[in-house]
């Protein structure tokens, strides 16, 4: 399939040179920008790992691909940290506890545990 061709639930569209998912970002990758306290190195690495897993289609690489997989995770984490270090916003930082409570409430509604 070519760029911008839909693949179902997380259907992709091409906007300029960028590909976006209609349902938002990959649901396992969390927003890291503009939180107080700022994202930790572990959170940045976890996001990088999720990204590389998604792109590669593999949660655990074969032995022959381990080095390439690990290198990709490191490089994505470094690029992510550089991005976070350089982003600016006028919005006040989000509170992690408040956002976690909101996510829990949304999940309760979504899964009928409210």
Average pLDDT of span 92-98:
93
18: pLDDT strictly greater than 60? no
Confidence of residue 114 (pLDDT cuts 50, 70, 90): low
Cα–Cα distance for residue pair 50/26, rounded to 1 Å: 9
Between 16 and 52, where is the model more confident?
A: 52
Per-residue model confidence as pLDDT tens digits over 46-74: 999 999 999 999 999 999 999 999 999 99
110: pLDDT strictly greater than 80? yes
Alpha carbon of residue 99 to chain centroid: 16
Cα–Cα distance for residue pair 50/58, rounded to 1 Å: 10
24: pLDDT strictly greater than 70? no
In the chain, where do the E strands start and end? Answer: 12-15, 18-21, 35-36, 94-95
């Amino acid at each position: 399939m070519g760029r911008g061709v839909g693949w179902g639930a997380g259907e992709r569209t091409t906007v300029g040179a960028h590909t976006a998912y209609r349902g938002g970002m990959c649901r396992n990758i969390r927003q890291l920008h503009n939180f107080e306290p700022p994202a930790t190195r572990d959170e940045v690495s976890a996001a990088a790992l999720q990204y590389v897993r998604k792109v590669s289609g593999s949660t655990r690489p074969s032995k022959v691909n381990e080095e390439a997989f690990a290198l990709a995770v490191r490089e994505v984490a470094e690029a992510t940290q550089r991005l976070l270090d350089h982003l600016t916003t006028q919005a006040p930082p989000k509170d992690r506890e408040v956002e976690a409570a909101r996510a829990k409430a949304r999940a309760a509604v979504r899964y009928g545990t409210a």
